[in-house]
Structure 1
Amino acid sequence: MKIPPEITYRNVDKSDAIDTLVHEKIAKLEHICNYINSCHIAIEKIHERPRSGSPYRVRIDLTVPPGHELAAEKNPGEGIQYQPLDAVIRETFDAMRQQLAKLTQLQRASEQANRYEEAQENTAFVTKLFREDGYGFLKTLDGREIYFHHNSVLHHDFDRLEIGTGVHFSQEEGEEGPQASTVKIVDKPGVRAGKSSETLIEPPLDWQE
C-alpha cells in the first residue's frame, strides 16, 4: 500500500484485540489487490443502547488505481441488536472484500483482453517472399498485408523465412505506407512458438499451405 492505512476511533476504546483484527483484515485486502493506494477506516460508537442493531458504525474507504474509490459501511440499526464491535468490523471488511475482488477481476480481464488484441495486431505470416530482391509481404490475422525488408528481420534470419512462417513484428510508417519492422520468426502455422511456450499461433481462417 502506497500510503499507510489510517484508522480512526471515535467514542471507542482502542484495544490490542481490535487493532490486531483490523490489521489482519487489511492484510487480506492487500492479498486480493496488492496495489491499493490508500485505506481509511473509521470506527465509531453512535449509541449506547440503540433500539435496533449495533451501537457501532464502521466505514472503510479505499482508493485503487487508476481512479477507483470504494466504500463499505455498516451502520447502527443494521443487523443483530447489540452486535459486538468485532462482528461489525468483520462484516464491513467482508463487504469491502467482495467489492475489491470484483474490481480486481474486471481489471485483470481487461488487461488480458488488451494483451490479446496487441498479440493479434503483431502476429502475421509470410505470404509473399522475393528472396533475391530482399523483401516480402506479411499477412496479419485480421487480413492486412504488410511489406517488410530483409533488414527488418531480426538475427539475420531473412534466409530462414518461408511462405507460411509465423512472425511477430512492429509496424511503422514507411515512404509508401505501413511496413513491418523488427520482424521476429515465431514458427510455422499451428506449431508451438518455442519449447517453453504453450500458446499456439493460429493461422488466418482462409490460410492454405
Structure 2
Amino acid sequence: MQIPLQITFHGIDHSEAVETRIRERVDKIHALFDRITSCRVVIEAHHRNKSNCHHKGEPFHIRVSIAVPGSELVVKRDPKDAHVNEDIYLALREAFDSIERQLKDYASRTRGEVKARASA
C-alpha cells in the first residue's frame, strides 16, 4: 500500500487484539489484490439511552474503505438492528468478508473476467 493502514477507534478504548485482527484481515485482502493504495478502518461504539437497561452489549459500527486504482470500495456496517453487531470480532468479520467480496469483484472486472450485462 502506498499509504499505511489507518485504524481509528471512536467511543471505545484502543485494543491491541482488535488491531491485530484488523491487520491480519488487511494482509489477507492485500494478498488477493496487491494494487490497494490505502485502507482505512473505523470502529465505533454508539452508546444508547441508559433507560434500555435490559440490553448489556453495545452495537459496533464498522467502516472499511479501500482505495484501488480508479475507485474506492467501502463497507459500512451500521445496522438498524443494534443486536447484530454486539460482538466486535463478529462485526469485523462481517465487514471484512463484504469488502473481500467487493475486492474480488473489482479485481475480476479489471482483468476483464466479468462479462458486461446485456441491455434489456
Q: Normalising to structure 1: TM-score of the pair?
A: 0.47
Structure 1 unaligned runs (5+)? 111-209
Task: Report the structure, 1 or 2, having the larger strand content.
Answer: 1
Structure 2 unaligned runs (5+)? 114-120
Deviations 1:39-74 (CA, angstroms, capped at 9, x unpaired): 1111100124777x9611000111101x11110011
Counterpart of 2:60?
56
Task: Report the CA distance between 1:34 and its aligned residue.
Answer: 0.4
| In structure 1, C-alpha distance between the alignment counterparts of 2:80 and 2:7, rounded to whole Å | 23
| In structure 2, C-alpha distance between the alignment counterparts of 1:109 and 1:31, rounded to whole Å | 19
Q: Which amino acid aligns with 1:44?
A: E
By relative contact order (CA 8 Å, sep 6+), the higher-ranking structure is 2
Residues 85 and 63 of structure 1: CA distance in aligned 2, closer, same or farther (over 3 Å): same
Task: Report the CA distance between 1:80 and its aligned residue.
Answer: 3.9
Q: How many residues align?
A: 108
What does residue range 152-191 of structure 1 map to in structure 2 within 5 Å? none
Q: Normalising to structure 2: TM-score of the pair?
A: 0.79
| In structure 2, C-alpha distance between the alignment counterparts of 1:102 and 1:79, rounded to whole Å | 29
Deviations 1:84-126 (CA, angstroms, capped at 9, x unpaired): 111101100111000000000111126xxxxxxxxxxxxxxxx
Counterpart of 2:91?
88
Name segments (4+ residues, structure 1) moved above 3 Å: 48-51, 78-82
Larger radius of gyration: 1
| In structure 1, C-alpha distance between the alignment counterparts of 2:82 and 2:88, rounded to whole Å | 12
